Chain A
Amino acid sequence: MSENAILRAGPSRVVAPVPIVSAAAQTQPHRVNIAASHVDVFYAAKQAIVDVSIDIGEHQVTAFIGPSGCGKSTFLRCLNRMNDTIPICRVTGRIAIDGEDIYDPGMDPVQLRARVGMVFQKPNPFPKAIYENVAYGPRIHGMIGNRAEADEIVERSLRAAALWDEVKDRLDEPGTSLSGGQQQRLCIARAIAVSPEVILMDEPCSALDPIATARIEELIDELRQNYTIIIVTHSMQQAARVSQRTAFFHLGVLVEAGDTETIFTNPRDGRTQDYITGRFG
């Protein structure tokens, strides 16, 4: 039984004293469904995203592909309002998670980012102990009452990120002492710790070697049992390997979205075909 399977088996195996992730949520699929309609993004006067509409299914891996500057990362960052931090950036249209408009004035972006976690291109652990890297988020979100609860969340998150066995005896060492691949899995554990529904990954493997990349890809495949995952990647092979759905962006436009298999064997749009076969001038 894999570590994740143990987790999914429910709280009798892994004691969850506070409803970090409720028992029901662990055994039943999350009802997450991201619906974006007519999204435009502007950086000052320059339009970076043009009228993008896409539905993202729950418990699936969706890959965003496209050449540099195509808007895929910009669009990804709309999904947890990371673009709010850029003053000149303006987002219009509607993005709803579980039917709830995330750009609604009543939506707290900090709470939203706990629901929609993010993993970045370069592993960026806090300059703190491995344990603290994971416990920090749940603590500031008031999810932890005492040390035992913190221990529980740290272990569960590190297990889910397939890192526990490698770090369980060195939890007090700094996160930055880990290898690049371990640091990235630590960042994934940190994202998982606050019980998100969606995990956004912006080129999570581009700084990793092939073995560390394979471990992350394997992890992504396990995580999709419990999370909706959206990954931005420059590697078409990676998109083909890890995702069930693929969306191709070009010049800020969503050119084509569909089953990964179809996109990579018989795309409808000539631009998709040219991009994935390496014909872009």
Chain B
Amino acid sequence: MVQKHTVKAFDDELKQLADIIARMGGLTESQLGEAIEALAQRDNARAEAVVLADARIDVLEHEVDEMGVRLIALRQPMAADLRVIIAALKIAPILERIGDYAKNIAKRSLAISRVAPVRPLFTVPRMGRMAREMIKDVLDAYAAVDVAASRAVWERDHELDEMYDSLFRELLTYMIEDPRNISPCTHLLFVAKNIERIGDLATNIAEIIHFQVEGRTIGENRPKVDEASTTVVSAPAELGG
């Protein structure tokens, strides 16, 4: 455990900063969970609640900004302290972005619930729950200042990427089968893409935790599985005419 600062107020302030990130993280995680469940259960009230609650994350991001700038100006932090503050300033906008994706998923679930359910509606929530687990684990790693745990999340993202790739093919197939599926499937495709991005953002947070603790970047590239961005599924000959 690191020693305490001679100026105790500085310790308190750094703890406050980490607390705001923890609150932001908790809120973001629950927003994502709620958005996914709203989608799975076709629960419009739940989706609307998610849309409304997003502003609370933005408020917390502001608090992190102000506190971080104040600490840099007033405490002139060095080394590990400086990295703690820089890390918080970098993580906050990522959480805010994840909050935006959750809100976007909730909005799309409102649209999707207006039409008859398509089968991928069951795969997407599974993907969403996986992303939520990643967010939870990376936030736990942040709270525990645990590089190994954050790295485990970093290495896990490919599972989400693979799921996204197969879902992408599946959705294209549905759309080709029946044009009436195009509207819900397109929305689902965006939802899946948002979830896939959330996984990427979780790995970004893992990288920031690594920097905060080790003072350098992870320094290797994460294995990328991204077939969806180059995949083409052809329509059957009779439709393609």
Contacts and interface: CB of A to CB of B under 8 A. Distances in A.
Q: How large is the interface on A (under 10, 10 to 19, 20 to 34, 35 or more residues)?
A: 10 to 19
5 contacts: A264-B78, A265-B79, A276-B78, A277-B81, A278-B6
Nearest to A273: B79
A279 B5 contact: yes
Interface in A230-281: 236-237, 240, 264-267, 272-274, 276-281
A270 to B, nearest CB: 9
A236 B78 CA distance: 9
Interface residues of B, number: 17
B3 interface: yes
A214 to B, nearest CB: 16
A281 B6 CA distance: 7
B117 interface: no
B77 A277 contact: yes
Given A266-B215, A266-B216, A277 B79 contact: yes
Contacts, number: 40
Could you tell me the dominant secondary structure of chain A's interface residues? helix
Interface of B: 2-7, 10, 76-83, 215-216
Q: Top 9 nearest A-B pairs by Cβ distance?
A: A266-B215, A279-B3, A276-B78, A277-B81, A278-B5, A264-B78, A277-B78, A278-B6, A279-B5
A267 B80 CA distance: 9
Contacts of A264: 78-79
A265 B3 contact: no
A279 B3 CA distance: 6
Given A236-B76, A236-B78, A279-B2, 17 more contacts: A264-B78, A265-B79, A265-B82, A265-B83, A265-B215, A266-B215, A267-B79, A273-B79, A274-B3, A276-B78, A277-B77, A277-B78, A277-B80, A278-B6, A279-B3, A279-B4, A279-B5
Nearest to A272: B79
A169 to B, nearest CB: 40
Nearest to B10: A278
Nearest to B77: A277
Nearest to A264: B78
B6 A276 contact: no
A279 B10 CA distance: 10
A238 to B, nearest CB: 11
Contacts of A240: 78
B89 to A, nearest CB: 15
B45 to A, nearest CB: 49
Contacts of A280: 6
A276 B76 CA distance: 10
A198 to B, nearest CB: 28
A280 B4 CA distance: 8
A236 B75 CA distance: 12
Contacts of B4: 279
